[in-house]
Amino acid sequence: MKPTPLDHLDATVALLARPYTFVQDRARKAGADVFETRLLGQAATCVTGADAVRLFYDESRFVRHGAMPARVLKTLFGEGGVQTLDGAGHRRRKRGIFMRLVATDDRDALPELLAREWREALPSWSGRSRVELFAEVGLLLTRAVCRWAGLPPLDDRRARIVAAQLMATIDAPAALGPRYLRGRIARTEAERWAGRFVLRARAEGRDDGSPLSVVARHTGDDGALLDRHTAAVELLNLLRPVVASARWTMFAAMALHSDPSWRERLRTGDDPVDLDYFVQEVRRFYPFFPVTAAKAARSFDWEGHHFPAGRLTLLDLHGINHDPRIWGDPDGFRPDRFRGWEPNAYQFVPQGGGDPNDGHRCPADWLTTDLMKVGVRALTRWMTYTVPPQDLRIPPFRAPAQPRSRFVVADVAATKHAQED
Ligand code: HEM
């Protein structure tokens, strides 16, 4: 690819202006799956396409330590968390905490707690003139995940504070001004709060297999417990992303609103496969994480491009989920595309790619889809509601994406299925 004059300028502003299409657009222009640019004042390489996913998750070529900008660590992830580890240290913590709890735990425990929260909340929603779905689902998820984690029950006020803090950390990394600051403050407070439970669990010698006790008892390569701060970061690495799935439940509600035939199909049908395709398509179609980042572990060449050791590299998660070489009609919402075809771990990457046991792929694809399924069941079978006029446009510059109105519903009524299903 011939460099254009633009390639010599820092592209951070362009990335922030179009976070979800930045890589795709420039790669298309370059006619290649890889191009070089400058981001945050340093040389960076952006990659897209299924082959790039294989490359990116090859641990001999990429490491995570030092890859995430400080603003992401100070809001979304926290410092010293599993996202920043490599090699044996990464595997030990990933398997010891996350794969153990998320990938092999009793699969239904957290979705069942969430279903209970939905059922309990519906009567109170029906008395309200409007319900902002995004915030309310975030609250239900917060209550459910804190209970699942083994934290003491949260009263209503505390649950709202924790939900707001976790959602603020998710909202902040790509923001400027007050939204970013809110995320910074929320992270400090949430870490302090989570750290207290870790210390208490240790003081009590708690060993009941709950997520809290697993984090509190986890030891590093040196056999020592995690320090209070790191343990708090990892406890929040379990709580926060569960609450993050509120965004996808909101998008599922938008999809039901824009295509009522799916609402009808899911309301009347009893086909778990339909529900699965619908939820997978929500994860593919709607924007959430635009990219993820790593650094070249050593110098190598790929597709005619040189990656010097230490080169910041961005993988185009959203673009790959809309790559026309993988997905027919990529910009159409078509759950039936999953019928008879299962994408592999390098083609469908809403939560990263490759093998979560060895690499940095999210440990919780199935858990996330199960939580979304509870939400979609609630929206289609357990309640009726109307969607008042509102601004449902999703600004292309906002990451993480959300409609301007955050999806408001009205006239909520619980159906008889709310207690029966
Ligand atoms: C809305 C739902 C979710 C989304 C969009 C999401 C997305 C992601 C993405 C994109 C990554 C990074 C992949 C990479 O950099 O290679 C990731 C990693 C991670 N996710 Fe999720 N995730 C979600 C739900 C969850 C849940 C429910 C949990 C845990 C209960 C979870 C825990 C983690 C952890 C611990 C990592 C770091 C893994 C590592 O670095 O090895 N996520 N997730």
Q: What confidence tens digit (pLDDT) does each residue in 327-336 have? A: 999 999 999 9
Nearest alpha carbon, ligand 1 atom 25: 241
Residues with CB under 6 A from ligand 1: 82-83, 94, 98, 102, 237-238, 241-242, 244-245, 248, 288-289, 292, 317, 350-352, 360-364, 367-368
pLDDT of 307 > 50? The answer is yes
Helices 109-126, 133-149: inter-axial angle, 10-degree rounding: 140
pLDDT-derived band at 1, boundaries 50, 70, 90: very low
What was the pLDDT predicted at 105? Answer: 62
Residue 207 has φ and ψ, to the nearest 5°, of: -145, 60
- Rounded to the nearest integer, the mean pLDDT of the chain is 95
Give the residue, 140 or 103, on which the prediction is more confident. Answer: 140
Structure tokens at 384: 């009726």
Residue 189 exposed, middle or buried by CB count within 10 Å (0-12, 13-18, 19+): middle
Q: Which of 40-49, 100-109, 411-420 shows the highest mean pLDDT?
A: 40-49
The alpha-carbon radius of gyration of the chain (Å, integer) is: 21
Query: From the CA of 230, how far away is ligand 1's center (Å)?
Result: 17
- Residue percentage of the chain with pLDDT more than 90: 93
Mean pLDDT for 137-165 is 97
Mean pLDDT for 146-174 is 97
Question: Which CATH architecture does the domain made up of 5-420 adopt?
Answer: Orthogonal Bundle (1.10)
H/E run at residue 188:
helix 178-203
Structure tokens at 316: 């185009």
Query: From the CA of 126, how far away is ligand 1's center (Å)?
Result: 33
pLDDT-derived band at 273, boundaries 50, 70, 90: confident
What was the pLDDT predicted at 420? Answer: 76
pLDDT-derived band at 269, boundaries 50, 70, 90: confident
pLDDT of 6 > 70? The answer is no
pTM to 2 decimals? 0.96
Query: How wide is the angle at C-alpha 43 spanned by C-alphas 41 and 49, nearest 5°?
Result: 125
pLDDT-derived band at 415, boundaries 50, 70, 90: very high
